Structure 1
Amino acid sequence: MADLVMAPPPAMDLFGEPIEAHPPWFKPDAFLRAGFDADAYVAELRSYVPLDSLAAELRAHLAALRAELVGLINRDYADFVGLSAHLKGVDAAAARMRAPLADLRDKVAAFRAGASAALAALREGLQQRAAATAARELLELLLDTSHVVSKVEKLIKELPTAPSDSSNAEIPINDTGTPNGKAGTGVRETQSILLERIASEMNRLKFYISHAENLPFIENMEKRIQGATKLLDGSLERCFVDGLEHRDAKVIYNCLRAYAAIDNTSSAEELFRTTVVSPLIQKIVPQNYARAVAGASSDELEEDYQQIKACVEKDCKFILEISSSENSGLHVFDFLGNSILKEVLSAIQKGKPGAFSPGKPKEFLRNYKVSLGFLDFLEGYCFSKSAVTKLRYEPAYTDFMRQWNVGVYFSLRFQEIAGGLDSTLTNTFSPTGLNEAQQKPLLLKQSIKLLESLDSCWSDEVLVFSHCDKFLRLSLQLISRYTTWLSCGLSARKASDRSPNSPADAEWALSIPIEDFIYIMHDVHAVIGELSESGSFIGHVNQSLGSCPIEVFNLVKGSILQAAEPLKELLPAIMDVMIGIIVKKSNEDLKHLKGITATYRMTSKLPVRHSPYVSGILHPLKVFLEGDRMHYLSEDDKTKLCRGSANKITATYYDLVSEVVTVARKTESSLQRLRQGAQRRVGASTDASDSIISDTDKICMQLFLDIQEYARNLRAIGIDAREIDSYRALWQCVAPKDRHENIQF
């Protein structure tokens, strides 16, 4: 009682009425409904009541319920305490109820034990039944095996005594005294039918043995089975060989079915190879050089393949047609690969081993291509695409292809083609023997060698179609090597680098005359034209890749066009080198310009005509333009050369004139200050020299006459000096002030 908490009295207002404990929106009765849902209740109230207020009201209601519970307990505490006193007799009632339940449990346990025993007996009976069934099946299998063995032995014993044994049976003789062919044919056919039947039984026997191996009964019969198998193999071999010799299609068909039944296709293929194929091939390809006739020991295979094809068409086609007949079940045989191709490979390896050697690239490629043609010929006898695939996965086919080391062949061709171009590029630079009347498309040995090497990569005498990617890479490498050779030479010539560390590719360009660069410019244009989309080289490649999809050819074409782009970028460099050489020669005459200062210093002499050096400024350019090789340059290149040279020469001319005039003016200004100082010291007038022409003016007058003559010389070669920016600056530098805006010459 001490631990119980008394409920607080209800709150009262001033008039003695109880204060409402909850707000109007809170209805405690809602908690007593049968379908009360707390989530729905909270969702309904939260739309207009804050959650904090709702939580406070719920806590207050919970406190009120607890207080009410305490009050109820305090009110009925005596009844709670005396509750245990009113439970008398409960144990006896529970005991009375427990008795029937225990009895029911015992009955259920007894029934379960009985059911378990019956189930165990049933399972044991089923196991005994299964064991009996297995034993019966095994016994039947053993009996069938014994029966089949006996049957096979009986059928094999019938072979010698039956008229089907072609080796022992007497063949009837006709009236003319010759053997009756029809009778012999019937004997072989009967024997082949019997052998096919025996083979079917042997197939059954193998099936039985596979399901009853390691049994004493089977082990005791092993000798009988081996003997029967040996007799069957021997008889089947003799019958098959006899059928092959007489070209008896029915006998061959039955024998092949027999071989297929016993899963011994390799024996039939080997017999056909040794009986029919080998004698034919040995006549065509001698197995020993010592036995070969004179002149027949060449490693060429084309003629041999022609003869082999004729033999296949004549002597082997019959069995290929038999083995590929529909619904025959003989598709398991592969006489093309395991008989014909295997024997051909063996004959070539023994009789003509040099045919596989890539050491002689031309002979190797011819033999390789005719060998691929021979494989195509054999694949023509395949009756379906799956048969072609099967032939290509045969060991004989893969061994045959493995003999052709195309990788070594490509390495030799790479050394031959790339080495030839590299040797030509590193040799002394010299144009070919020129014939001006013929207008040769290429003028340099290096350029000619490049196109010859590119054509060699895709010629029928060099290209291996299966290695087109490697030959494409070689072609791109050749173009890159030629481009690098040109680029190194041009860079060295432009820098005039004659150091011992300069690359070997640059040596050629350091000593050749300017005229040879005309040949280089001409050849680069020609090579770019050959490598362009409309050039003959891409057409040659397209012809070689005629069997490839258009997407493949487009990729190849794109790579060639991309390889030619760096070559196009060399054209301005070649032009710059030629212009640089001309400008360098012109600068030798421009150096005489500095002598004008000494000529008109401290003298009353006035200029009346242009200086002699002016006629020599453009002389190198004129000589070059009038050379006999200029017709190798296009008109556009001639214009670029002429204008580029004139621009650079004029720019150099302007730099020198500007320097001379600047120095003259500075010198004159210094002298003028000294003169004025001396005159002031002696008290003389300083205005006496105003009417005298200064040395700078005389120098400018001479230079003005020179640049006018220079402009006339430019006009003589087709260039208007007024279009050159540096010439206008030159005119502004030396022309009188009243003529600055009027350039006339």
Structure 2
Amino acid sequence: MSLVSPQPSSADPFQLERLAEELVSRETFNNEDAVHDLPEYVPLSHDNPYLTAETFDVEEFLLSRSHTSLQDLKAELRDYLSSLKEELVQLINDDYESFISLSTDLKGEDVRLASLQAPLAGLKQEIQISKADLRAIQTTLEEKLRKRAALREEKALLHLLLKISESVLRLETLLLISSSDSSEMDGIQPVNPNQEHPEEREGNRAKHLSRVAAEYTQLLYHANKARTERCLFVDEIQWRIDRIQSTISSDLDHLFGTTLVLLTEKKGESEKSKAITDLTECLKTYDMLGLWRDAEDVMRREVVRPFIKKTIFSGTLSAPHSPLLPHTPAPQAKTPAFISSTRTPYTPFTSRVFHPPHSQGKGTSPYAYILDESKDPLAALYSQILRFVERELSGIMDIAEKVSLKSLSSRKPDKGGSFTPRSGILVKTLNESESEGTRGFELLGNVVWEEFGRAIMDELGNFVFASGRPNEFKQHHEITQAFIRSLEFLAPSVYSIENMRRHPIYVAFENRWQLSVYFQIRWKEIVGKVEESLAEGEVDLSENYPTNSFQTTQASDIWIAITACWSAEVFIPELSHRFWKLTLQLLSRYKRWLEETVITSHSTRPSTIVNEKISASRSSTPVPTPDSTSNENAAADDATLRTCAAVITDIQTIQRSTMTLWNEEISMMLPGAHAEDDDGVSAELALRRAVDSLAGLVTPLSKIIVSVLSRRACDALLPVRSIPSQLRAMSNKRPPSEASPFVATIMRPVKAFFGVTGTGESVGVSLKNEFLVQYSSEVFEEVCQKYVSYITAIKKAEDSLKRFKIGKKKTFSLFGSKDDENHESRDEERIRLQLMLDVEAFEKDGQSLGINLEDSPSFKSLSELVEVSELPEA
């Protein structure tokens, strides 16, 4: 459409044609989406999908022709049928000529086929003869190949038997064993282990035994291979193989024991170095033969048991100890930072968390100071054991660990498990260890801990595990756990520590600790003191405040009980969950006691006083005077304020102290402190709920305090009712210029409670920062409501007096005059002005306490009530 409107022509002055075109284009544009195509008639053909489908569906076909009537559809189908017949006839006509000529073309072919079939029988016979000849040749070749394979196997087996015979003879020669057959009948006679072979006189006996072990391992491999072939020769010489094994084992045990004794003696550096070399070779030989337990038995027999026999016996803790000579001090590795960072003042160690840094070398255990600083004879015994293990056994364990690791790294994984890297070393999976037994040396668990743990349980069990004396039991448990952790620090690897903790002796040792009995004794001590304090039935204000940081004795006892659960003198890591449960129970017990003792008793105190007055008036006992009753009520209110303020302060102190204890102590000492249970509740959340539940008692205690302060403030408001009578009785009729003296005393109870005025006993000074504005606002609101009721009562009295005077003038006005009316109006103005001054002074007093008067609806009503020109009707 052109933007420039064309000039109207003379033929069409109104441009009707242009308007019509625009209307048509607009309607076309608006109704573009509403245009629907008419149904298109599609005749039946071979391309119809409903006719060419594998299964003809009548309903779908009829629905596709729903726009066609049945008569028309019938006619269409007839037309389509006729067209199909015509096409069929046309196809027959097109191919009829070829069909007729087919029979003509096949004449004479049968003769030709018969001539071709004649030589086939001869060819078939010749092929069968050739096939039989080839099969005979193949059978002959296979038989010859089978015989040659059998000969090769027999030859290989003979070579294998020759190798076995040569290995047996060589080993008997190396071990100086007689090969006479008489030993088979008489039994195996062990040879002298000190007898040397001529080949090893100039060499090293450890190297010689290593060579013998390698040859013996090869012999076992060949013997097993021959045994699978069911060779009787192996069974006949099995006694010689067993004799070789017994000789190797006895020689190796003797050499290993001799080497261990040489290491424990004070020898020169050269001899000690040679002994270490021989020891390494012996351990490699043990590992090669798989005799790890034999090596552990020798070490247990030659080194550990003699020391235990001299050190651990029934009277060892009462006898003076002869300390071992300390080893030469070496550069010690620094204690890792994470060890000191995870310790807390309440626990000297953290069990099952520490892993020694093997890559940095061995140094002094971070728990050794517990044994060194303790004067207990058990600690001295443990220190002596640790010094012995570090001096005599630590190096041997390191060598055995290296030998095992080297062997594991070179060995392929078996079916039972796989070798996986862990902490820079190769260890075996737990599945294989459980199914096949631990493979490798386990000197820490099978030698060191098994012997020392059993000796401690057998000889010192009655002293170490005596749970009837909780203080000594806790000290023994702490010292023993420090000893175990220090012993683990000497372990060659983390895997050896895990094996030691899975050892049956270790499990039995841990089960000997009667921790449940110890907890019951501690529970009685802690809970008994708390229940004794709560049994008094009333709050006992502490005399040591603020030194004790708690204003009540009960709160102080509760806090002492909570901290005792996690103190170094009571806490045991294995009982952490029980102490955690006791902590929550103490908080719940203190909350329930406050509800029953403080809140319930002080909430019902006013009604109790009224009942006492009624019962006293009905009895023959004389009723006390109003002054004595008011003094008793004032003393009771003071006690209520003092008690509630002290309890609120203690609740806040417990809340802060408990969360601080959690952050600094409990969260580090409680296993899984940040984990959630099945309900999604963590330990921290449970503690917060318990503390928040205790803090919820602040609200009812605050209501009690506010009710007492409000009652006292309202009592100070009583003089407002006598303002009209006082102003009328004054001889000086000047307008008032200052507020009434009682206004300054209305909020004085609040100021005295929080120590704002600096006079009197300020029992709530500790609550000033948090509750001053809140309590003042609530008391101010109560006073405003009472103030409004008093002014309303004054208005009612003034209206009654005014109506009485007006009625009196109508009945008898002999002495009435206009001066009396003016005098009356001036009195009302003075009363209204005095009320305004009092409310303004009251407002300033409230603002000085930080009260937001804009949020007080009662004060707004009070201000509106005194600011009107005339006192409103009631």
Give the TM-score of the pair, scaled to structure 1. 0.64
Shift in Å, 1:295: 8.9
Q: Is the 8 A contact 1:189 1:250 kept in 2?
A: no
Shift in Å, 1:307: 0.4
Matched with 1:276 is: 303
Matched with 1:729 is: 861
- What is the correspondence of 1:245-260 to structure 2 with a 5 Å cutoff? 245-247=261-263, 248-260=275-287
Q: 1:239 corresponds to which letter in structure 2?
A: L
SS at match of 1:513: helix
- 1:512-542 deviation digits (Å, cap 9, x = unpaired): 733111111222333344356xx57634558
CA distance in 2, matches of 1:376, 1:257: 29
- What is the correspondence of 1:450-469 to structure 2 with a 5 Å cutoff? 450-464=558-572
CA distance in 2, matches of 1:299, 1:188: 54
Is structure 2 residue 336 aligned with structure 1 residue 336?
A: no
User: Is the alpha carbon distance of 1:407 and 1:217 closer, same or farther for their aligned partners in structure 2, counting shifts above 3 Å?
Assistant: farther
Choose which of 217, 221, 229 in structure 2 pairs with 1:207.
221
Q: 2:116 corresponds to which letter in structure 1?
A: M
CA distance in 1, matches of 2:130, 2:509: 79
Matched with 2:114 is: 95
Q: Is the 8 A contact 1:300 1:367 kept in 2?
A: no
Choose which of 641, 660, 663 in structure 2 pairs with 1:538.
663
User: Is the alpha carbon distance of 1:713 and 1:68 closer, same or farther for their aligned partners in structure 2, counting shifts above 3 Å?
Assistant: closer
CA distance in 2, matches of 1:72, 1:731: 116
CA distance in 2, matches of 1:60, 1:480: 98
CA distance in 2, matches of 1:512, 1:117: 126
Choose which of 266, 286, 302 in structure 1 pairs with 2:379.
302
Q: Is the 8 A contact 1:455 1:537 kept in 2?
A: no
Shift in Å, 1:636: 4.7
- What is the correspondence of 1:303-318 to structure 2 with a 5 Å cutoff? 303-318=380-395
The range that moved more, 391-400 or 271-280, is 391-400
CA distance in 2, matches of 1:689, 1:201: 150
Is structure 2 residue 566 aligned with structure 1 residue 441?
A: no
User: Is the alpha carbon distance of 1:706 and 1:315 closer, same or farther for their aligned partners in structure 2, counting shifts above 3 Å?
Assistant: same
Matched with 1:738 is: 869
User: Is the alpha carbon distance of 1:334 and 1:722 closer, same or farther for their aligned partners in structure 2, counting shifts above 3 Å?
Assistant: closer
Q: Where does the alignment leave 5 or more consecutive residues of structure 1 unmatched?
A: 1-51, 170-185, 500-508, 550-554, 677-684
Q: 2:650 corresponds to which letter in structure 1?
A: D
Q: Is the 8 A contact 1:188 1:251 kept in 2?
A: no
Shift in Å, 1:350: 1.0
- 1:97-154 deviation digits (Å, cap 9, x = unpaired): 3445565555556666666666666556555555554444444444433443444344
Matched with 1:637 is: 771
CA distance in 2, matches of 1:737, 1:68: 115
User: Is the alpha carbon distance of 1:478 and 1:87 closer, same or farther for their aligned partners in structure 2, counting shifts above 3 Å?
Assistant: same
CA distance in 1, matches of 2:405, 2:89: 101
Q: 1:200 corresponds to which letter in structure 2?
A: A
Matched with 1:241 is: 257
CA distance in 2, matches of 1:221, 1:476: 75
Matched with 2:700 is: 573
Question: Structure with the greater relative contact order (CA < 8 A, sep ≥ 6): 1 or 2?
Answer: 2
Q: 1:266 corresponds to which letter in structure 2?
A: R
User: Is the alpha carbon distance of 1:397 and 1:194 closer, same or farther for their aligned partners in structure 2, counting shifts above 3 Å?
Assistant: farther
Q: 1:629 corresponds to which letter in structure 2?
A: V
The range that moved more, 266-275 or 83-92, is 83-92
Shift in Å, 1:401: 5.3
Shift in Å, 1:456: 3.4
Q: Is the 8 A contact 2:287 2:407 kept in 1?
A: yes
Q: 2:217 corresponds to which letter in structure 1?
A: N
The range that moved more, 111-120 or 219-228, is 111-120
- 1:208-251 deviation digits (Å, cap 9, x = unpaired): 34331675443433433334433433333233222222233344
User: Is the alpha carbon distance of 1:622 and 1:81 closer, same or farther for their aligned partners in structure 2, counting shifts above 3 Å?
Assistant: closer
Is structure 2 residue 242 aligned with structure 1 residue 226?
A: yes
- What is the correspondence of 1:343-742 to structure 2 with a 5 Å cutoff? 343-354=451-462, 355-356=464-465, 360-383=469-492, 421=530, 424-425=533-534, 427-435=536-544, 440-464=548-572, 475=583, 478-479=586-587, 482-483=590-591, 485-486=593-594, 492=600, 496=604, 513-531=640-658, 538-540=663-665, 564-583=691-710, 626-627=760-761, 629-652=763-786, 654=788, 688=811, 723=853, 725-726=857-858, 729=861, 738-740=869-871
User: Is the alpha carbon distance of 1:309 and 1:649 closer, same or farther for their aligned partners in structure 2, counting shifts above 3 Å?
Assistant: same
Matched with 1:266 is: 293
Q: How many residues align?
A: 634
SS at match of 2:869: helix
CA distance in 2, matches of 1:316, 1:465: 30
SS at match of 1:157: coil
Q: 2:641 corresponds to which letter in structure 1?
A: I
User: Is the alpha carbon distance of 1:122 and 1:581 closer, same or farther for their aligned partners in structure 2, counting shifts above 3 Å?
Assistant: farther
CA distance in 2, matches of 1:542, 1:394: 30
CA distance in 2, matches of 1:224, 1:306: 49
User: Is the alpha carbon distance of 1:83 and 1:151 closer, same or farther for their aligned partners in structure 2, counting shifts above 3 Å?
Assistant: closer
Q: Is the 8 A contact 2:713 2:749 kept in 1?
A: yes
Q: 1:203 corresponds to which letter in structure 2?
A: T
Shift in Å, 1:306: 0.6
Q: Is the 8 A contact 1:490 1:573 kept in 2?
A: no
CA distance in 2, matches of 1:105, 1:408: 102
CA distance in 2, matches of 1:523, 1:373: 38
Shift in Å, 1:440: 4.2
Identity of aligned residues (%): 23
Shift in Å, 1:353: 1.4
CA distance in 2, matches of 1:644, 1:165: 104
Q: Is the 8 A contact 1:209 1:218 kept in 2?
A: yes
Q: Is the 8 A contact 2:603 2:704 kept in 1?
A: no
The range that moved more, 484-493 or 575-584, is 484-493
User: Is the alpha carbon distance of 1:653 and 1:220 closer, same or farther for their aligned partners in structure 2, counting shifts above 3 Å?
Assistant: farther
Shift in Å, 1:420: 5.4
Give the TM-score of the pair, scaled to structure 2. 0.56
CA distance in 2, matches of 1:251, 1:75: 108
CA distance in 1, matches of 2:128, 2:595: 106
SS at match of 2:176: helix
Q: Is the 8 A contact 1:614 1:706 kept in 2?
A: no
User: Is the alpha carbon distance of 1:264 and 1:353 closer, same or farther for their aligned partners in structure 2, counting shifts above 3 Å?
Assistant: same
User: Is the alpha carbon distance of 1:486 and 1:189 closer, same or farther for their aligned partners in structure 2, counting shifts above 3 Å?
Assistant: farther
CA distance in 2, matches of 1:635, 1:732: 32
Q: Where does the alignment leave 5 or more consecutive residues of structure 2 unmatched?
A: 1-66, 68-74, 180-190, 264-274, 322-374, 409-439, 608-635, 675-681, 731-738, 755-759
Shift in Å, 1:408: 7.1
Q: Is the 8 A contact 1:356 1:403 kept in 2?
A: yes
- 1:419-478 deviation digits (Å, cap 9, x = unpaired): 755664565343354256x55421122322343344334433344557767766665665
Q: 1:538 corresponds to which letter in structure 2?
A: N
Q: Is the 8 A contact 2:317 2:381 kept in 1?
A: no
Choose which of 86, 91, 97 in structure 2 pairs with 1:67.
86
Q: CA RMSD in A?
A: 6.2
Shift in Å, 1:308: 0.8
Q: 1:308 corresponds to which letter in structure 2?
A: I
CA distance in 2, matches of 1:345, 1:418: 35
